[in-house]
Structure 1
């Protein structure tokens, strides 16, 4: 009787799952079809995958691999710096006591209310004056410390047992070793969740890289996709293959870290 009552719930969840997965299926199917079939709305797999790949490689003259490499480099470096700086800030805001820290944290949170486009022009002027255009530093500097990430680490730091810090101090462990050897291993789930979010944001970034990456050799995958669709005619099959290449890394990382991501978002600490 209980199982029969759950049948409508299962049906509803299956329908929602199919609706969620369909765009991914259509993207993969479109990458194997000609532009005409994609325009006609075909959702069946075709036999154009290798042909589309050859067209894609020839059309962009090898910039596909350089764009993939640039995106991996930029996203990885930004993720590493973001995790270190924001976790250190969240750790300090929550576990060290100061009467002015809440006021300072409130000022930092106010930065979330400022649109990114409002700071883009002064940031570009600053980056250009220090001659960092077309470099990895131009990409990562505006995003290595964000109020959201600091707040995320601070909230999860409330689950870190303060008794561990006191015991470590009694044993003579320096403060920096408490952070690296005790805080970071305990908070590995939030690091995984923050790493997934940071990597996806960096990988999918388009507007800021478009501003500071003026050389095609420094372009990222979203810029690469925009370039292959900027002609007079658009080959939809080739375009969807490029989108598939752009989407696969983030999907793989999420599937690998999905358990740790869920634990980090819910704030659980083991």
Structure 2
């Protein structure tokens, strides 16, 4: 992808199959960055991805604590419902979700079609069930004796969750946040379905459509845009790498 992005446009158009070039060029990156509202597309993707990461991991953590540490009516059935929600293919839900958010928009425009709120909500709906199941193992692995000791010291349930439990399961939270960020950042299906006419609310994958043309695709710009899309994911991954490795190791043990 990087090598194709650095190839001159003439070499790509001529069908040059060599994986390298002796005359690298940044023209493809310049064409991508010159797209109208490119910065807005980038910020939209960043807003949606970060919102999903923060909200979905926070809600999933609290739900995992409730489903693991407390006993209440229909807890098992709720766990089964969460599991079933992960089994339904995204493609099968796209049309029903379209009409659902169309109805939401009539009541609350901010979460309706053509708004970033619809993308945030739908990705939260798919990220939370996975995160709950993953975090349950981390929460269950924390000894109950720690909670009992905290209560003896006068800590409330909320204080125990915030000051003791959360730091211990932080690697799992980080692992969930990485999966949520990647799936949201790379989303094309929902962005294409929900953002119909409001181009100012388009995301980065939608910006790449500019270079797909009926007569000839601009593969250099497509590859350059894909490289630019990958950079935030790499930065996010490097920033949480240590926590992610320990989190995945904890998930395997669980």
Matched, 1:29 2:3: yes
1:120-269 equivalences under 5 Å are 120-131=94-105, 132-145=112-125, 146-214=128-196, 215-267=198-250
State the shift of 1:99 in Å: 6.1
Structure 1 residues 150-190: Cα deviation after superposition (integer angstroms, max 9, x where no partner): 10011121211212211222333222222222211111111
TM-score normalised per structure 1: 0.82
Distance 1:183 1:87, change over 3 A: same
Shift of 1:212: 0.9
Q: Stretches of 4+ moved more than 4 A in 1?
A: none
1:80 and 1:261 map into 2 onto residues whose CA distance is: 16
Residue of structure 2 in register with 1:114 after alignment: 88
- SS at 1:169 equivalent: helix
Query: What CA deviation, in whole Å up to 9, does each residue of 1:79-122 have, x standing for no partner?
Result: 00110011111111111134632232122211222222222222
> Contact 1:168–1:178 at 8 Å: present in 2 too?
yes
Judge conservation of contact 1:159–1:267 (CA < 8 Å) in 2: no
Contact 1:34 1:236 in 2 (8 A): no
**Structure 1 residue 245: Cα displacement:** 0.5
Instruction: Return closer, same or farther for 1:158/1:121 CA change in 2, 3 Å cut-off.
Output: same
User: For 1:187 and 1:157, how far apart are their aligned partners in 2?
Assistant: 7
* 218-227 vs 229-238, greater mean Cα deviation: 229-238
2:47 is matched with 73
Change in Cα spacing, 1:78 to 1:148, as seen in structure 2 (3 Å) is: same
- Conservation of the 8 A alpha-carbon contact between 2:9 and 2:28: no
Q: Tell me, what secondary structure is at the counterpart of 2:6? A: coil
2 CA distance for matches of 1:193 and 1:67? 26
Q: Which moved more, 1:204-213 or 1:248-257?
A: 248-257
* Structure 1 residue 203, shift from structure 2 partner: 0.2
Q: Which runs of 5+ in 1 are unaligned?
A: 1-26
| Alignment partners' CA distance in 2, 1:118 and 1:54 | 38
After superposition, the CA RMSD in angstroms is: 2.0
Alignment check: 8 A CA contact 1:81 1:144 kept: yes
Q: Secondary structure at the match of 2:240?
A: helix
Which whole-Å CA distance do the structure 2 matches of 1:169 and 1:118 have between them?
Answer: 47
Where 1:144 maps in the other structure, the secondary structure is helix
